[in-house]
Amino acid sequence: NAGVMQNPRHLVRRRGQEARLRCSPMKGHSHVYWYRQLPEEGLKFMVYLQKENIIDESGMPKERFSAEFPKEGPSILRIQQVVRGDSAAYFCASSPRQRGITDTQYFGPGTRLTVL
Amino acid sequence: SQQGEEDPQALSIQEGENATMNCSYKTSINNLQWYRQNSGRGLVHLILIRSNEREKHSGRLRVTLDTSKKSSSLLITASRAADTASYFCATDAGQGAQKLVFGQGTRLTINP
């Protein structure tokens, strides 16, 4: 079974450009989470999605950031008009159908975004 | 302030010694998880302990949970150079929230 897949692994953008990060969850997983990690820090929750639904976006900046998890295809985290402060590692995690409590989340290798 | 706080921030020991890392949190939880992150890599899930459990083992790993003190510890016995990594505890945010709340991590270095 393939694990959580993310691409690209490294992404370089100039200020003002758009960044699109993709995440394919593990087979059979219908829940996707995005986290951001700044250097030397822990991961910070951004958004939690199920197919075609955003369940919790409490950690996502109100402007420039958006996420989707369409019926078909990977989940996409989109950052418009990137700024240097967006430089970070972005991790996606997935989990199987929830049973009412938080279960194990399996993480992808991350996308390292560098904004020049 | 953060839900999970690891202690110490950095730990350096000799190969073969035991390594103990601690994690404290602030709110009620359903479970607590420990993850390992090698430099520049993704997170690897190590162990999940539920709030009604006090201790759990997995190979050379031993995790304890004290809900009265809102703390957990991760013990790695007979450490190896390959254990060099950052270790994070993560808690659920409670109240049915699905997101994980991570601490800053403990950077463990095993010296050969």
CB contact under 8 A, B99 and A91: no
Residue type, A68: E
Tens of pLDDT along B34-46? Answer: 999 998 788 999 9
Q: Which residue has 């897949």 as its token pair?
A: A5
- Choose the weakest-confidence range: A20-24, A93-97, B104-108: A93-97
- Whether B104 and chain A come into contact, CB under 8 Å, resolves to yes
Q: b vs e for A35-69, b when ≥16 Cβ sit within 10 Å of the residue's Cβ?
A: bbbeeeebbbbbbbbeeeeebbbebbeeeebebbb
Q: Identify which of A105, A83, A61 has the alpha carbon closest to the alpha carbon of residue B44.
A: A105
pLDDT computed for residue B22 by the predictor = 95
Residue A101 reports pLDDT greater than 80: no
Residue A16, helix vs strand vs coil: coil
Q: Are A33 and A25 in contact (CB under 8 A)?
A: no
φ, ψ at A43 (rounded to 5°): -80, 145
Nearest to A108 among B42, B97, B103 (CB): B42
DSSP E strand stretches across chain B: 5-7, 10-14, 19-24, 31-37, 43-50, 55-58, 61-66, 71-76, 85-92, 100-102, 106-111
Confidence of residue A90 (pLDDT cuts 50, 70, 90): very high
Q: Are B13 and B19 in contact (CB under 8 A)?
A: yes
pLDDT computed for residue B6 by the predictor = 80
- Closest residue of B to A47, CA-based? B99
What length is written for chain B? Answer: 112
Tens of pLDDT along A71-86? Answer: 999 999 999 999 999 9
- Closest residue of A to B107, CA-based? A40
Q: Which residues contact A48 (CB under 8 A, 6 or more apart)?
A: A31, A32, A33, A54, A55, A56, A57, B98, B99
What is the average pLDDT value for chain B, to the nearest integer? 90
Q: What separation in angstroms does the CA of B97 have from each of A3, B3, B27, B30?
A: 24, 13, 12, 10
For the segment A21-30, the average pLDDT, to the nearest whole number, is 93
For the segment B92-110, the average pLDDT, to the nearest whole number, is 83
CA atoms A1, B74, B76, B104: torsion sign: positive
φ, ψ at B6 (rounded to 5°): -90, 155
Residue B95 reports pLDDT greater than 70: no
Residue-wise DSSP of B77-104: -S--GGG-EEEEEEEE-STT---EEE--
Regarding beta strands B85-92 and B61-66, do their DSSP bridges make them parallel or antiparallel, or are they unpaired? unpaired
CB contact under 8 A, A42 and B92: no
Residues of A in contact with B52 (CB under 8 A): none
